[in-house]
Structures are given as structure tokens and as C-alpha cells.
Structure 1
């Protein structure tokens, strides 16, 4: 395994420490951007470098995570994760872990006049140093740093000190859509006064109509009703808020409190113009609502047709005609079940378990009064694509109805009330869904040949399975009728 959890497990790190390190690595993209450098996370371990399966008597360090900056080039194009180095070759990390303080190490880059600096930061959890986060960067005399770069690095150093004290990462981070440093950044002091504003941060404020924002202002003086800073100060946790300026502008703010020995000393405020994202969200919501409405109207139309058929049944005198319309009405209702579920849920997949329950309820309505029928379900089909669910609902309706009409009709009626059992079994095999329908009835007649089916219901089933779903169907008698249907299911569907 190459995940942090897997590597930490191999290194013998306690689960609570792993959780802390995972929280750190979920937030440290911010730190890499602030310091314009690669960040590498080392944990102490005892591994034999020549044979990782064997323990070593000497202390080594394993790389369990690595992040590259979005604001600068990386020094390590290749991944270092899972690599192991000896403690003797990394005195800076050893000093950092043993002393619990930030350690520096400078070395010359081979075949170059430049020097590389390792900035080793102890990662503390519950008062104990558990890992070292190393910032790697090159000293380049030709590179001129401006005010923005200096302030970003100073912010990184403040976060680094928070890490050494166990104050970072925060206990709960809302980073799902958190802005990046390059999107826009501002710094406010403990009095909520803006002490720094990046050009992109100023541009985001301009989008909200604050064209005169400058260092020394407060958000209140700019007319922005922004509560993230007050909540970040109160809870000492990151806070995310969006401000919308109608009709089309939305800016996301995230305030990260800067702590010093547990005391609030200001906030780093990240800004991001999310207007286009929110516009797309609204379009998706509108599209989902439209799709649901279409399915709702299809369901209503099918129910109307079903009602018209029932009215027509009452006007007929021919029993054959009535039965034919009843069968048509049941088929329409089984299709309407799928559209009813799609009208409630967003997406193009259906929880087919709900469809089965509705189909079983429909089947019970057609059971003769003198037949006590039990229908049981084993296994679960899970979610199916609507293109599979609709014909499959019709197939199950036909097969269950076929058992009700034919499986128990030849019982000795002199014994009084009849009883029967229909069992539906669902299972996933490779990329297929297998459905087995069995009953306790008389089974198929001797000499039954599926290729010579004359029943309309079974003809519909055979056509839907083989032609529309590209599946297979087989018939047999095992103390009653037994039908097996296999249909391919796309891999993207979770069953």
C-alpha cells in the first residue's frame, strides 16, 4: 500500500497518530503554496533498507506523504513516498525529532553553485513529536523576492510554529472547496484590521463592489457583512462563508485563525471568486428539477392510461377482452413504478429494491381470493441504470404474474384454500445481474420448449431479455417452475 495510512501502519504508527497526520496532509497544500516549496513528511521507523520485510536495529525515516507547491516549481519531480533513508544521513530530521524544535540544514547542490535548505518542523500530537515535516528549497541569489513572497513565507513560519505546538492542523477543517493561496489572500490582525492584501484578493473584493479596499481598513468599514473572522476568533477553527452580490457574483471567504500559544493573533483570509461554479450549480439543479418533472409527468400519463384501461374493462362483456386489458394495465403500472422513483431521486439510476417491493405489491392485487400466496425476496440488486430498470421491472411483473396464473391452477381445489410460494433471488456475478424466479407450483408441462412459446407474457419477457438487455434466460422445473435471467450490468453501477 502507498497510502499514508498503509505506510504508517507498516512503520508501526498508532492509529490516532495516523489520523492526525492525515488531517495535516489534507491541509498542507496551503502551506506548500505559502512557502513556495516542496513539503515532505517523515516518520521514524525500524526497517531494513535492503529488505523492508525485515526489522532493523537502526533507526530510519520513511516518507509517508509529499506535496508540491502550486506557486513554484518542484525540486522533486519523482515521488519520494515510501522511500526510506537512514537516520545518520539526515541529521536535521534527527535533531528536529529529538529536540522538538525547528532545525535547519544547508547543503550544496551537486554539480551546482546553489545551496539547498532543509527546514525541519516537528509535528506534535498530544504533546509528543510524532513526525517531521521538511520544507525543501534552494537558495538562489538571482531570485528577487517581493513583499508578497516575504509575507507568504512569514505566514508559513507562523503555521510551522503552530505545528510544533500541536495547534495545527485544526481539529475540524472545512476544505472541500477551500480557496487556494493563489486565488486571493488577506491577513487581518487581532483587531480585524487588514494588514496585507494580495492582488487577487483585491480583485475578488472589487467583484463585490469594494473598489477602495486598502491595507488599514476593516471588512466592516468596507460595508461587507463578513462573519467568518469573528467566528474564527471565537472557535479557533477555520470558517467558510460565501457572500453573493446579485445577480451573478459570489465570493467564497475562508478565515484560518493564527494562534500563538493558544491565543488568537489574527487570521489568514483566503478568497475565491466562485461565481461561475455557483452558476453551474444552479444550472445543474435546474436540469435535475426538469428531469424529475419529466419523469413525474410520464408517471402521471401512464397512470392516466392505466385508469382509462380500467374504465374500459368495466364496459366490456367479453372475459377474454377484460383479461387482455388487465394484463396491459399491469404492464403499464410496472413501468410507471420506475418513473415514480426517478421523479423522486436525482440521477439516472434507480434503487431497484424499491421497484421490486412495488411490483410485489402489484402482484398481490391480482392473487385469486382462494389462493394464499407468499412472495419472498433473497439478495439485493442494488442500483440499476434506468435503461436496465424499466425493462427489468416489466420482466419481473410478467414472470410473477405467469406463476400466479398457471403454477397453482391445477391444484386439487376440493382441499379448500390453495397455498403457494414464489421466491425471487438476486445475485451479482462478475459484470452481470442474475435473477432467479422459482415457485412451488406444478412446473412446466412435459415437453415444454422455450423456442415454441405462444404465451404473450413469456414472449415479451424473452424479447426484452435477449433483444433489449442482451441477456440470457433459461427455464426448468425443480419442484415447480424455475426461471433464470442473466443481464449484463455496466461496471459503473454499484450493486
Structure 2
């Protein structure tokens, strides 16, 4: 089955940032489906003008109205086009009958800051076959869902909140609390009441200030202050914390006297107007005990990466020592290149030792790798290396060979791009630039210098340089990409481009 990233790459040319926004929305829209008692479909406009469904979500709180898989099908619904053109939420007042099932559809455009109109559109489909008087829980759910759907159209949901501890997301059914703009509880579901009772709260929860209740229940005073700050900031009672949400997160795990709970606060700001917040709570006392075993395994994997890094650094040190003791210049050069290659692999393992998801931030790798490579530059010419564009995060299996490729290309430009033949070049003018262009389909990286350029008749395919042979092998076999070398578009120097698929 194709993933969302695969379908976006196949049918659209969305930017990397816009695709990431849709990924975050799909990661969070189970809350929308549960609060709406409705199915959700996400559709995008293809290059030929069709609307194709790329994701589907069914509610846990109601029966589905789409029993079949709609992903990949063409969404033949004029309401979607109208919602995109009007850039606002559109609702069908009269239900549409499919056999014995009456469905009311609502089209929700997906806004994204900086985009020229909606980047996608959601279909919210509700079963109206058996109408009845809604309960207080259903009214609270649907009122919150309407606010969140408007925030989707505004481009303000989901929030770019961080999750530094990798905490899971409570569901609406685990425990739902709605607070108003003053932080006062206006509704608490039975499961939420049970969770607070297990934490030690015995009084009525409605009409109390939720931040004060949690402060009284949590055992750690610093933890209780953090939870209270997050709840009040989400409701709009107080200013947001000095540290942005994307760094501290809007979800926390807290210990009370009798239980451990996971709390998440979701601000409600339809059209930029604060209406309060949704606070989800889940009792994770037993789950936490089981997670301790998984944490131990994760720590073991990271410790392995750490030890591999240490061993590679030891090998690098031995090779460096041998290079210093070798009188043969050719052998010394070969050993120095081996030191550099081993050091680049060790750097990736060092970053993996601190990662919880086996992913590598290429920008951090390049920023740490460049000074090491510049230090070994020979000659009197000062070479500056500039990292201009965002490379992003890649999985370990792609990052490892790509870091090796970048190491070889940067070092090759330093060693061979500036031969000192240009007498008019001033000291310190030699520059190497790393530029990148990334979208949902591929990553293009170019290493560009303003040196003396390629020699006449140079052919990368027939080159006998070991570094270029390593690059060609890694790009074609390990990364499945393409390598091109030619004159720099600035008219001076050389540009080496590597394009790899991300699908």
C-alpha cells in the first residue's frame, strides 16, 4: 500500500514544507474524526486537475460510512472544488443517501501559511441515518471539532508542537475535558473524571480551574507548574511559555499520588479567536511499566552506535598515527584519506547514538563535517565552505552513504578545485558552496566552487580517482540516484550535482 508521501510525490509537486504539514495533519486527525463522529478523507489536486484521495481516517466513536478503502480513488465531488475556490468550510445542508445510509458531507480546505490557496481539502462525512437528541458529551465533542476544522482551514492546526520525550497522544475516548477561555472546566467526560479520581481528586471537576486542580494533585512541584503553565497557555489564560511549543511540547507525562497520567492540551483558536482548549488525559500507569523494557532496548541500540563510533575513532587515530610515521608521500596521502572517510562514518554513528528513531539531521552533519575537511586543505589558499540550503532529515540507510558522498565531493573540491594557477585570485577568495533543493520526490545537492574548473576532456565515468569512483558507486547503487559534473552556473569553477529519490 502506498504511503501518504508516496501519493503526494506521485500526484503533486508540493513543497517539502507543505507536504510535512499534511503529514502532521494526518498524524493528528484521528482526534478530528473521534470528536466529529465522522469519517475523514484527504484529497489533493493532481497535475491534470483531478482531485485524488490520498488519506482516510475512520472514527473510534462511531461506525464508519466508508467501509471500503477510498485511498487512490478520484474524488468526484463538486463541493471539494467549491471549497478550494472559496477557501472556506462548506457544508451540505441536505444529506445524500447511499442505499440505506444518509450522509452529510462537509468540505474543509487545508490552509498553509505562505501557500497560494489551500494545499488540500478534507471531506467530513457524518452518518445521519438515525437522528437523535445528542448527549452533553456529543455536544462538547462536536463543538470542539467544529473549532478544530476551522483551524485546519485557517492553517493553524495542527500546531508545530514538539514532542521531545516521544510521548504518545491520548485519544478523546481516554479522557476529554473542555475548558473555556478562562481555563474553567465546562465539560469533563466520564473517563476523564475517572482518571482524575485515580489521581486523588474526589470533588466535582466542572466549574473548577483545571490548572489549579492538576497543581494540587501532582507530586513534583516543578512538574505541576509545567503542566499548569501548558494548560493555561493553551486556554489563553496566560501568555505562552518563553520556550516555543515546538520545543517543549503541549503534552506531558505527570506523576500523581496514585497514578501516572499523560496530559495533552490542544488550543482552540478558530479564525484567531480563542475559545478555550481541549485537554486530553490518559491513565498510563500500567503502560509506563511496560515501556521501561522498551526504553532499555532503545538505550542498548544507542549504546551500540556509541561504541561503534568509539571504535571507528580509535581506528582513525591509528591510521593518523601511521600516516605521520610513513615517509612515502603517496602512502601518507592514502592513509590521510582513509582517516577522513572513517571519521565521517563515525560522525553519523555519533548522531545515531543520540537519536530515538534512527534518523540523521544532514544539516548538523555537514556543519560539523566542514571544519574537519577544511583543516586538511593543503596549500596557502584559504578555502571557505558555505552551507546555504536546508538538507533535512534522512533515515540512517540513506544518510550514511550520502554523508560519504558529500565528504568526497567537498574534499575533492578543496584539493583539486584550486590549483593556484589563477594569479589574479586574492587570498581568501576561494569559495565552496553547498546548495540543495528538496521536495517530496527527491533531494538535489550541488557542491559548487569558484576554482579553475574541470580540465579539458574530463569524463567522470572514466576518471581513475578513487574518491570519484567511490562517489559514483554510492550514488548509483546505494542511493539509486544520478551524478553530474560540469561548469558552475556562475561561469567560474565546477559544480557537482547529486540527485537521489526520496520515495
TM-score with structure 1 setting the length: 0.55
Which of the residues 200, 222, 240 maps onto 2:251?
A: 240
Distance in 1 between residues matched to 2:298 and 2:112, nearest whole Å: 45
State which of 94, 101, 104 in structure 2 corresponds to 1:117: 104
Partners of 1:216 and 1:27 lie apart in 2 by: 28
SS in 1 for 2:160: coil
Q: What aligned pairs does 1:44-443 form with structure 2 within 5 A after superposition?
A: 44-47=45-48, 59-85=49-75, 89-105=76-92, 106-112=94-100, 114-126=101-113, 128-141=117-130, 145-172=134-161, 174=163, 176-222=167-213, 223-224=216-217, 225=224, 226-232=228-234, 233=236, 234-235=239-240, 239-246=250-257, 249-282=259-292, 351-352=307-308, 354-355=310-311, 358=314
Residue 214 of structure 1: how far off its partner (Å): 2.4
Gaps spanning 5+ residues in structure 1: where?
Answer: 48-58, 290-341, 385-427, 429-495
8 Å contact kept, 1:205–1:213:
no
> Which residue matches 2:6?
6
Q: 1:285-333: CA deviations, max 9, x gaps? A: 67999xxxxxxxxxxxxxxxxxxxxxxxxxxxxxxxxxxxxxxxxxxxx
Query: Which residue number corresponds to residue 34 of structure 1?
Result: 35
2-structure distance, mates of 1:2, 1:356: 38
> In 1, are the aligned partners of 2:40 and 2:122 still within 8 Å (CA)?
yes
Report the 3-state secondary structure (helix = DSSP H, G, I; strand = E; otherwise coil) of the residue aligned with 1:42.
Answer: strand
Secondary structure class of the residue paired with 1:227: helix
8 Å Cα contact 2:39-2:125 kept in structure 1 = yes
Mapped contact 2:4–2:23 kept (Cα < 8 A): yes
Q: 1:359 to 1:38 in 2, by over 3 A?
A: same
Secondary structure of 1:135 counterpart: strand
Could you tell me how far 1:116 is from its partner in structure 2?
A: 1.1
CA gap 1:283/1:70 in 2 versus in 1, 3 angstroms: same
| CA separation of 1:198 and 1:353: change in aligned 2, threshold 3 A | closer
Task: Rate the CA distance shift 1:230–1:214 in 2: closer, same or farther, 3 A.
Answer: closer
Consecutive unaligned residues in structure 2, runs of 5 or more: 218-223, 350-396, 398-503
Show CA shifts across 1:233-276 (max 9, x none): 33395612232124x62112111111143232211001011212
Measure how far apart 1:156 and its partner are: 0.5
Output the CA distance in 2 between the equivalents of 1:370 and 1:287: 44
Change (3 A) 1:158 1:348: same
Normalising by structure 2, report the TM-score.
0.54
Report matched runs for 1:10-25 at 5 Å: 10-15=10-15, 16-25=17-26
1:350 deviation in Å?
A: 7.3
Assess, with a 3 A threshold, how the Cα gap between structure 1 residues 280 and 119 changes in structure 2: closer, same or farther. Answer: same
- Structure with bigger RCO (C-alpha 8 Å, 6+ apart): 2
Inter-CA distance 221–125: structure 2 relative to 1 (3 Å threshold): closer
Find the residue that maps to 1:115 and give its secondary structure: strand
How far does residue 5 in structure 1 lie from its aligned partner after superposition?
2.9
Check 1:195–1:130 CA distance in 2 against 1; reply closer, same or farther (3 A cut): same
Secondary structure (helix, strand or coil) at the match of 1:140 reads: coil
By how many angstroms is 1:148 displaced? 0.9
Contact 1:194 1:218 in 2 (8 A): yes
Is the contact between residue 231 and residue 239 of structure 1 (CA under 8 Å) also seen in structure 2? no
Relative distance call for 1:118 and 1:355 in structure 2 (3 A) is same
Distance 2:156 2:316 in 1: 58
Give secondary structure in 2 for the equivalent of 1:84.
coil
Question: 1:136: Cα distance to partner?
Answer: 1.2
When residues 79 and 360 of structure 1 are mapped into structure 2, their CA distance, relative to the original with a 3 A threshold, is same
| Counterpart secondary structure, 1:6 | helix
CA displacement at 1:220 relative to structure 2? 4.9
Alignment CA distance shift 1:263-1:142 (3 Å) = closer
Deviation string 1:101-139 (CA, Å, 9 cap, x unpaired) is: 222234543432x31111111212237222211111221
Q: 1:93 to 1:275 in 2, by over 3 A?
A: same
- Structure 1 residue 188: deviation in Å? 0.7
| Equivalent pair of 2:183/2:211 in contact (CA under 8 Å) | no
- Aligned-CA RMSD value: 3.8
Query: Is the contact between residue 228 and residue 253 of structure 1 (CA under 8 Å) also seen in structure 2?
Result: no
Q: Is the 8 A contact 2:148 2:270 kept in 1?
A: no
Separation in structure 1 between the aligned mates of residue 120 and residue 186 of structure 2, nearest angstrom: 33
Taking structure 1 as reference, are residues 281 and 20 closer, same or farther at Cα in structure 2, changes over 3 Å only? closer
Does the 8 Å CA contact 2:176/2:188 hold for their aligned counterparts?
A: yes
Larger Cα Rg: Structure 1 or Structure 2? 1
2:452: which partner in 1?
A: none
Give the whole-Å Cα distance in 2 for the aligned partners of 1:190 and 1:255: 13
Bigger strand fraction: 1
Kindly indicate whether the alpha-carbon contact (under 8 Å) linking 1:62 and 1:83 is maintained by their aligned counterparts in 2.
yes
- Partner Cα separation in structure 2 for residue 276 and residue 133 of structure 1: 36
